[in-house]
Amino acid sequence: MHSISDERNWLTWLVKVRILILMVLLAIELAVLRLTPSPLPILPFLAGMVLWFALSLFFMFLVSVWNEHRLQAMLQVLADLAMVTLVVHFTGGIDSSLNFLYPLVIVVACMLLPRAWGYLSAALAFILFGTILELDYYLVIPSYSTSHPKLKALQVVIFVNLFCYFAIAYLAGLLMSKLRQVDVQLKDTSGALENLQALHENIVQSMSGGVITTGLDGHITLVNRAAQQLLEISEAELRGRSVAGLFQDPLPHFGGDRGDAEVRYNTGNGFHKTFRVRVSALNVSARGDLGFVYSFDDLTEVRRLEREVRMQDRLAAVGRLAAAIAHEIRNPLTSIAGSVGMLSDAPSLNPEERHLLQIVIRESERLNNIITDFLAYSRGKQYRFERVNLIPLLEDTLTLLQHRLTAENAGITLECNFAKSEAWVVADGDKLKQVFWNFCENAVRAMKTTGGSLTVALTERGPEWEMSFADTGPGINSQQTEKIFEPFQSNFEGGTGLGLAIVYQIVQAHEGKVWARSQIGKGTSFVLRLRRLEQAAGGPSLASPSARTALAAAGGGARG
C-alpha cells in the first residue's frame, strides 16, 4: 500500500501524463483528419477531447483540496474508461486507432488501486468497448466506422479484446505486486540503514574523546561534540579547514614510527592546551583509504599536575637548603656588617675608602634581606582560616596601590571589573593580601618605564572565584612563564625570585590554583582561583563538603 504522500504524487503524475497524452492524440488526429480524406466528424471529436481536458483540470484541482485519494483514483479510472469509450466511438469504433487507450487505463488502475480493480477495469473496458461495437453494428447510435464486418467477426474482435484486457490486468497486477514488495523491502532496508547510520553517528558523537575525520587532502569532514568542546570551536568553523593548521606542533603521520604525539593548542581566549593525538586510516573495504581519523584527549590538567609535583619537589628541596644555609650565613654576615660599620666611623679613612665601606654595608643589608626571604620561604607558615569576602581585600590592596602610584606619578592606571559585590571564601585574609600585593607589585615593576594599565577582575567560574591581574607590560616568553613560580626566577633587577614562590606556597595552602599567561609585547596576566562559598540568607555557606571540613578543622584557629 502507498503512503498518503505517495498516493498524492501518483495522482498528480497521472493528471499530468493524461494531459500530455491528450495533447499528443489531439495533434495526431487533427493532422490525420486534415491530411487524409476521412468521414469522421471533427466537431464531436473536438468536443470529446475538450471535455476530457476539462475533467483532467478538475482532477488536478481535486488532488490539492481533497484528501480521499483512493476515491479520487477510482473516479479518475472510471472517467477515463468513459472518455476512452466516447473517443473510440467518435474515431470509428471498430476501425478506431485509439482503442489502445483501454490497456493504458487498466495499467493505471493496477498502479493506483488494489489488484481487484485491475480486473474490474478490464471487465468494464470489455463491456464498454463491446457495447459501442454492438450499438454501432445495429445502428442504435450513429456509426462512424468505414468497415462493416459480419457479426461473427465482430464477436471475435470483442472477445480477443476481452482476452487481451484480462491478460494485461493480470500481468500489470502481478508486476505492481512485485514492485510493491520490492518497495516495502527497499523502505525496510533504507530504514535499517538510516538506523545504523544514526547509531554510528550517535556513538561517534557520544564519545568522551575528541574525533576528527579528514579526507586524503587533510581537510576536516567531521567533528564530534567532544572535539568541539575541547577545541572550543564549532563544527561549522572547523569543517573544510586543514587539520594541520589547528595545532602548534606537527601531527603524527599514519604509518610512521609512532601513531601518536603530544601537540599544543591555543584557544580563542588565550589558554594553552596539550592534547595527545592518535591517527588511523579511514578505510572502506570496497573503496580503500578515504581519509584519516584523528582521535585526541586533553592532557592539559595532567601536565599541569605533573609540573606542580615537580615544582613542589624543587621548592621543598630549595626550602630545606635555604633553611640550612641561611642560619649559617646570617651569623658571620652580622659580624661582618658590624665590623664594617665600626671601620666606617674611623676618621683616618679617605673618601674612596669610605665609599667602598658603604658599598660593603649596602650589599650586606641586601644579602641580609635575601636571607630573610629565604627564612620566610622555608619556615612553616601559620594560617588563620575564616570566612572572608574577597572584594574588601582586593579594594584595600588597590587603594594602597593607587596612593602609591599617585605619589610616584608612575603613569599607570588601575581598572577594576568585579562581577559580584560579594565573593566569599574560607581563607587567611592577610595572606591573600600578600598574594594580591605581590601580583600588583610585579605588574607595576613591569610597566615602570613604559607606563600602562593594570586590570583587576573577579568572576565566577563554576564552583570557584577567578581573580586576574593583567598588565600591559612587555610580557615574558613561554619558558619563563612555566618557571615563574620557582625560586630564583626573577626577571627584575635586584629581585630574589622568592616573591612568587611564596605566593605559590600560600595558594597551595588554600587548595587553590594559580598560573600566569603572557605574550611578548602584549603583557602578563596572573590568574588565581579559590573555592567559593555561597552567600545564604543567614550568612555565607560552604559550597562543597570538602570546604565545610576544612573550615571545621580550622575552627577559626591556626593551621601550619
Which of 57-61, 135-139, 153-157, 487-491 has the weakest average pLDDT?
Answer: 487-491
Quick one: pLDDT at residue 386? 92
Q: What are phi and psi of 38, to 5 degrees?
A: -145, 140
| Residue 394 shares a structural domain with residue 349 | no
Classify residue 352: in a domain, yes or no: yes
552 pLDDT above the threshold of 60: no
pLDDT at 560: 30
Same domain, 316 and 397: no
Backbone φ, ψ for residue 195 (5° rounding):
-65, -40
Task: Name the percent of the chain lying above pLDDT 70.
Answer: 83
- Phi (first) and psi of residue 145, to 5 degrees: -80, 140
Query: Are 397 and 352 found together in one domain?
Result: no
CA distances from 529 to 393, 463, 468, 518 (A): 15, 10, 9, 17
**Residue 505's CATH number:** 3.30.565.10
User: What's the pLDDT at 19?
Assistant: 76
pLDDT, the chain, mean: 79
Cα–Cα distance, 388 to 427 (Å, whole number): 6
pLDDT value at residue 390: 93
Of 537 and 337, the structure prediction assigns the larger pLDDT to 337
DSSP string, 484-498: TTSTT---STT--S-
Structural domain span for residue 539: 383-559
What residue type is assigned to position 101 of the chain? L
Residue 534's pLDDT is what?
67
Confidence of residue 477 (pLDDT cuts 50, 70, 90): confident
Last residue of a domain, one of 280, 298, 316: 298
Query: Do 105 and 29 share a structural domain?
Result: yes
pLDDT at position 247 is 87
Q: How many domains would you assign to the chain? A: 4
pLDDT in tens, 23-35: 777 777 777 766 6
Please identify, among 360, 378, 396, the residue that sits at the C-terminal boundary of a domain.
378
What integer pLDDT is reported at residue 4 of this predicted model?
Answer: 44
Give yes or no for residue 528 having a pLDDT over 90: yes
| Residue 555 resides in a domain | yes
* CA–CA gap between residue 214 and residue 281 (Å, rounded): 10
CA dist list (Å): 351 to 345, 355, 540:
12, 6, 65
**What is the SS3 assignment for 388-424?**
EEHHHHHHHHHHHHHHHHHHHCCCEEEEEEECCCCCE
Q: What would the pLDDT profile of 326-376 be if each residue is shown by its tens digit?
A: 666 766 777 777 777 777 777 777 777 777 777 777 777 777 777 776 666
Final residue in a domain of this structure, among 346, 378, 410: 378
> Are 163 and 262 in a shared domain?
no
The CATH number given to whatever domain includes residue 348 is: 1.20.58
* The residue to which cell 593548542 is assigned: 265
Mean pLDDT of 160-165: 86
- According to DSSP H, which parts of 36-100 are helical? 42-65, 69-90
245 phi and psi angles, rounded to 5 deg? -80, -5
Q: Is residue 201 part of a domain?
A: no
For the beta carbon of residue 102, count every other beta carbon within 10 angstroms. 25
Q: Are residues 337 and 394 in the same domain?
A: no
> Stretch 529-534: mean pLDDT, rounded?
85
Give the pLDDT band of residue 389 (cuts 50, 70, 90). Answer: very high
Q: Which of 8-17, 248-257, 545-554 has the lowest mean pLDDT?
A: 545-554
Query: Do 149 and 246 fall into the same domain?
Result: no
Please give the grid coordinates belonging to residue 552.
571545621
What's the maximum distance between 2 C-alpha atoms anywhere in the chain?
Answer: 164
Three-state DSSP state, 32: helix
pLDDT score of 304 more than 70: yes
Taking the C-alpha atoms of residue 7 and residue 29, their distance in angstroms, rounded to an integer, is 32
pLDDT, residue 538, reads: 41
Query: How far, in Å, CA of 556 to CA of 560, rounded?
Result: 13
Cα separation, 554 vs 137, whole angstroms: 119
Residue 417: inside a domain: yes
Report which DSSP code applies to 270: S
**Is the pLDDT reported for residue 559 higher than 60?**
no
Residue 7 confidence (pLDDT): 64
What are residue 291's DSSP bridge partners? 215, 282
pLDDT score, position 421:
86
Higher model confidence: residue 26 or residue 439?
A: 439
Instruction: In whole angstroms, give the CA distance from residue 273 to residue 251.
Output: 15
Are 159 and 216 found together in one domain? no
Of 88-97, 380-389, 544-553, minimum mean pLDDT range: 544-553
Where helices occur in 235-350 by DSSP H, the ranges are 235-238, 300-344
> What is the per-residue pLDDT across 494-509, written as a single tens digit (0 to 9) for each?
555 677 888 888 898 8
Sorted by sequence, the CB contacts under 8 Å of residue 550 that are 6+ apart come out as 385, 426, 511
- Compute the distance between CA of residue 395 and CA of residue 412 in angstroms, rounded to an integer: 17
Q: Which residue has the higher pLDDT, 441 or 498?
A: 441
Place of cell 481535486: 62
Q: Is residue 202 part of a domain?
A: no
Same-domain check for residues 284 and 369: no
Burial of 330 (0-12, 13-18, 19+ CB in 10 A): middle
Sheet holding 220-223, edge to edge: 220-223, 210-215, 288-298, 272-284, 260-266
Contact (Cβ atoms closer than 8 angstroms) between residue 158 and residue 133? yes
CB atoms closer than 10 angstroms to residue 265:
20
3-state secondary structure of 193: helix
Which CATH number does the domain housing residue 282 bear? 3.30.450.20
Which DSSP state fits 243? G
Q: Report d(CA 440, CA 401) in Å as an integer.
A: 8
Does a structural domain hold residue 195?
Answer: no
pLDDT digits (tens, 9 = 90+) for 242-294: 888 888 888 887 765 566 788 888 887 667 888 888 888 887 766 677 788 88
Position 537 pLDDT exceeds 80: no
Domain presence at residue 104: yes
Cell representation of residue 463: 564552583
The answer to whether 544 touches 534, Cβ cutoff 8 Å, is no
Question: What is the distance between the alpha carbons of residues 530 and 462, in angstroms, rounded to a whole number?
Answer: 11
- In the structure grid, which three cell numbers stand for residue 20, read together? 500530455
More confident residue, 184 or 461: 461
Q: Report CA-CA distances (Å) from 551 to 385, 533, 545.
A: 7, 11, 10
Question: For the packed helices 300-344 and 351-378, what is the interaxial angle rounded to 10 degrees?
Answer: 140
Which pLDDT band holds residue 392 (cuts at 50, 70, 90)? very high
Q: Is the dihedral of CA 233, 522, 418, 415 positive or negative?
A: negative
Rounded to an integer, what distance in angstroms lies between the CA atom of residue 400 and that of residue 408? 12
Nearest to 469 by CA among 501, 439, 445: 439
Q: What distance in Å separates the CA atoms of residue 437 and residue 430, rounded to the nearest whole number?
A: 11
Residues 55, 17 contacting (CB under 8 angstroms):
no
Candidates 398, 469, 414, 471; CA nearest to 439 is 469
> Which position has the higher pLDDT, 290 or 492?
290
Residue 150 and residue 31 share a domain: yes
Answer whether residue 194 is part of any domain.
Answer: no
Tens-digit pLDDT profile for residues 398-422: 998 898 888 888 888 999 999 888 9
Residue 545 is predicted with a pLDDT of 40
Q: Note whether 368 and 333 are within 8 A (CB).
A: yes
All cell numbers assigned to 113: 488501486
Question: Tens of pLDDT along 59-106?
Answer: 778 777 777 778 888 888 888 888 888 888 887 788 777 788 888 888
Q: How far is CA 525 from CA 395, 411, 416, 455, in A?
A: 19, 19, 14, 9
**pLDDT > 90 in the chain, percent:** 10
Q: Is 549 helix (H, G, I), strand (E, B) or coil?
A: helix
Q: Which of 366, 318, 361, 323 is nearest to 496 (CA)?
A: 366
User: Are 436 and 539 members of one domain?
Assistant: yes
Same domain, 486 and 505: yes
Residue 556 confidence (pLDDT) above 90? no
